[in-house]
Amino acid sequence: MRPLWHGLRILLTVVRFRLDTILIELIGDHWLQWFLLTRYLPNPRKPSALRLREAIEHLGPVFIKFGQILSTRRDLLPVDYADQLAKLQDQVPPFPTEEAITRIEKALNQRVNELFSDFEHEPIASASLAQVHAARLQDGNEVVVKVIRPDVADRIRKDLELIFQAVRFLHRISRDVRRLRLIEVARDYEETIFNELDLTKEAQNTTRLRYNFAESQLLYVPRVYNDFTTTDVLVMERIHGVPISATNELVARGTDLKKLAVRGVETFFTQVFEHNFFHADMHPGNIFIDVEDPADPSYIAVDCAIIGQLTPEDQTYLARNIVAFFNQDFSEIAQLHAESGWIGAESDVQAFEQVIRDLCEPLFLQPLSQISFGHFLLNLFTTARQFNMEVQPQLVLLQKTLLNIEGLGRQLDPDLDLWTTAKPFMEKWMQKRYGVEATLKAFTDNAPKLLGQLPRLPHLLLTAGDRLGSIERQMRVQAHAMDNLQASLNHSRISWWRKLWVTLFGLGGIAQFSFVLLNWFPHLNHDALLVGGVVSSLVAISLSVKR
C-alpha cells in the first residue's frame, strides 16, 4: 500500500505542476499526456524549469537533494533547468532538541551534561539530514555537535525506491532518457546521500583534509573529536570566521580581497593536483574567512561530507587539457579527448577539433580577467554531446567545484585573472610529474622489474599475434551471446508493456480525476481521495495482470 500511496502523491504532483509538458520538452515524447489526460488542461503559464523546481520542493527534502545532485550534471541538462535546480535550498525546520539530546546520549552512551559543560538547546543550523548545536566540552573547548535526524534513513530508502522506479520506467520507454543517463545520476545520488548519513565518513574526510593543509596558510580545517563521533553524531571544533558571502564585513575589516581571491584558486588546484582530494561542496555556506590578520587572510572549510577524487588517468588528461587550453592548442585538446576515451571511438577528431576551436577562439578575444574557465568546461561538456562524450561523475563534480571557486573569487575580486594564477601552477605540476627528472626517477624505481622481464621479451613478441587472434575470437562469441540476450529481452519487454499499459492508464485517470475534484471541491479531504485512488489502482493492476 505504501508504494501506491507515494506513487499517487507523485502523480498528483505531476499533474498539478504539469510536468508532462517538461518531459515533452526534454525528451519529445507525448505518451504521458495521454494516460494522465493532461492534454485537455490549459497550457501552464510559468516557465517549465521553474515548475520543475517548485514540484521538487513540493515533494520534500529527499527529492530536493536529488534535484541538487541533478543540477550539478550541467552536461546533461539545458542551462535554464540547471540554473533553476541550482537554486534549490534545503531549509528544513529543526526537530525537537529533546530528540537530539536523546540521540546524542544513545550514540555516545553518556548524558549530555556529562559530555559537555554547556549545550545550546537552540540549533545553529538545520538541514534535511541533520542539525547542529553549539556546545562546550568539559575541558573548555568550544565545539559543534552535528546530529542525524531520527528515522531519516528509512524515509530516504522509501523515496529512493520511488525515484529508481520512475527512472527505470522512463529508461525503458525513451531513448533520450537513456542518453541522459538518469539511472547513473540516481545511483550517484544514492551513494552521496548515504555517505552523508554516515558521520564517521565525514569525520574521516575532515581529518584527511586537515592533515593535507596542516603546514599550509591557504586553508584551515577544524579538528574532529573522534572520541565523541559516531555514525549519527559528529563533534568538531567550533570555528569563528566571517562567511565568505559577507563581502561588506570583509571590506569593513580591511581584508585584502585580491590576495584572498588568488588564494582561493591556489587552494583549489592544490587540492585537485597535489593532494587529489578536493572539497566538492564549496558553496558560500561552507566557506569562512579568518581575518585575524586582514592583510594575510585565509580560508576555513566546513562540511566535508562530499569529497572528490580523480583517477590518475583523468588527473593527467585533465592537467594536459588545461595546459593546452592555456596555450590555445586546440588540436592537442581534441587528441587528448580521443586518447582518453572521453569522446566516442567512432568520432571524427578533426571535426571535434573544429568545434573546440569555434568554442574557444571567441573567448580569447576578451580580456583574460573576463574568461571563466569553469564556464568553458561547462560549454565543452554540452558541445561534446554530439560526439558521444561520456562525462565521468568525478569530472562533473570537479567542474561544479571550479565554478564555485571561480565565482567566489570573482565576487571577492572582479578582476581576478585565473590564468595568471593557474597557468604557472599547472606548468610546474606537469614538469614535476612528467619532466626529465620524473622520467629518470620512474625508470630507476622500476629498473629491477624491467630487467626481470627482459628474458621473456622475445617469447612475448613471437606469440603476440596468436594472443590477439584468440582475443578476437572470444569477442565474436561474446557479441553473438549478447545478440541472443537482446532478442530475448525484446520479446519479454513486449509482454511487460501490455501488462503495464492498463496500470498506467488507470493511475493516470485517477490522478487527473483527483486533481479535478480538488480544484472543484477544495473542502474535500485529501486523504479520502488518496484512499479511493489506491483502491482503484489495485483494481487497475489486477486487470493489467490478468490481461
- CA distances, 381 to each of 146, 335, 374 (Å): 37, 16, 11
Other residues' Cβ atoms within 10 Å of the Cβ of residue 265: 23
SS3 (DSSP) at 290: strand
Task: Provide long-range contacts, Cβ within 8 A and 24+ apart, for 37-43.
Answer: 37/508, 37/509, 37/512, 38/512, 41/15
Residues 422 and 262: their CA atoms lie apart, in Å, by 9
Cell, residue 444: 630507476
Phi, psi of 42, deg, nearest 5: -65, 155
Q: DSSP assignment, residue 238?
A: P
User: Cell match 538541514: residue?
Assistant: 127
Closest CA to 413 of 369, 456, 374, 378: 369
Cell, residue 156: 530516504
DSSP H helices, 327-392, are 330-340, 349-360, 373-383
User: Cell match 588540436: residue?
Assistant: 331
Phi, psi of 389, deg, nearest 5: -70, 125
SS3 (DSSP) at 50: helix
Residues 234 and 169: their CA atoms lie apart, in Å, by 38
The residues, ordered by sequence, that sit 6+ positions from 320 with a Cβ below 8 Å of its Cβ are 332, 336, 430
Overall size of the chain counted in residues: 547
Q: Which helix (H) or strand (E) holds 142?
A: strand 142-148
SS3 (DSSP) at 95: coil
User: What are the residue numbers of the active site?
Assistant: 281
Residues 145 and 113: their CA atoms lie apart, in Å, by 14
Residues 36 and 23: their CA atoms lie apart, in Å, by 13
Measured between its terminal Cα atoms, the distance across the chain in Å is 22
Q: DSSP assignment, residue 205?
A: H
Q: What is the 3-state secondary structure (H, E, C) of 296-314?
A: CCEEEECCCCCEECCCHHH
